[in-house]
Each structure stands twice: as C-alpha cells, then as structure tokens.
Structure 1
C-alpha cells in the first residue's frame, strides 16, 4: 500500500474547541498532518484520505511535547468557520 502525507498550517485568531476533545485550545498556529493512501486498480492516480491530525504543542509542565489529535476534515472546517480564520499552506 502506497501512502503519502502532507502538512499545512492553520491559524486560529480566537480560542477554539474541537468535537470529541474536552477543553478549549488557545488561539495560534497549528500544523495539520493529512495521510492518504493510493487507490489501487484505477487507470489514473488517485488518493483517499485516511487520517487528519491536529498537532497540539504542550504547555506548562508538558512543554516540548506534541500531541497528534485525530480529527475529521469536517470538524476542522467547522472550527475554522466559527473562528473566521482561513487556512494557509506551509
């Protein structure tokens, strides 16, 4: 199975929440990691998204640690829409 991943950055102007996770995350820049797999047996190259992760850096006693929070593309878009922010490519 052939996999690929891409990374982008989103900027939240305000604190935000994500479905399935307790608490509020602070405003700021967050990396998004998208994993996709190659669809086999097609006459053209196509990929299917298998996972989307929001990278959350630890604060305070957890500084220096990064948590990969699995999210859906829809949850991310809803959070960005609520914030009024626009995703930017890294």
Structure 2
C-alpha cells in the first residue's frame, strides 16, 4: 500500500480552539500533516485521506516540546474560518 504525507503550514492570528483538543491554543504558526493512501484498484492515481495531525506545543512544556494531535480536516477549517472572521470588539 502506498502512503504519502502532505505537510502544510497554517497560521492563526488569534488564540483558537479545535474540536478534539481540550485546551485553547495560542496564536502562531502550526504544522499540519495529512497522510493519504493510494486507492490501488483504480486505473488512475487517486488517494484517500487516512489521517490529519496538527503539531502543537505540549501542555506545560513552555513550547519546548511538540505534541502530535489527530484532528478532523473539517474542524481545522472551522477553526481557520473563525480565526479569519472579524471579532466582536
């Protein structure tokens, strides 16, 4: 089975939350890794997403250690959309 990983850098301008992570994360730059596996039975190259992980500072590490947390791509999109929307100041 062929698996490929796609790396992406996302930036949050405000502290944010993502469903599945029990704490608020600080604004900043985050690496997101998406693993996809090839669907072998097709006559053309196609991939299916099997995992999405965001690297976040480990709790209590003072940003010295990173932790990989599995997230839903839809939840990531929701967090990015919320971050981009104007605040109610």
TM-score (norm 1): 0.86
1:41 is matched with 41
Two-structure CA RMSD over aligned residues (Å) = 1.6
Change in Cα spacing, 1:14 to 1:63, as seen in structure 2 (3 Å) is closer
CA offset digits 1:27-84 (Å, max 9, x no partner):
0000000100000110100000000001012365454321111001100000000000
More relative contact order in 1 or in 2 (CA 8 Å, sep 6+)?
A: 1
Aligned residue pair count:
85
1:67 is matched with 67
Moved over 6 A (4+): none
1:82 is matched with 82
Change in Cα spacing, 1:32 to 1:84, as seen in structure 2 (3 Å) is same
Tell me whether 1:7 sits opposite 2:18 in the alignment.
no
Gaps of 5+ in 1: 86-90
CA distance in structure 2 between the aligned counterparts of 1:48 and 1:42, rounded to whole angstroms: 12
Change in Cα spacing, 1:11 to 1:65, as seen in structure 2 (3 Å) is same
CA distance in structure 1 between the aligned counterparts of 2:47 and 2:39, rounded to whole angstroms: 5
Gaps of 5+ in 2: none
TM-score (norm 2): 0.87
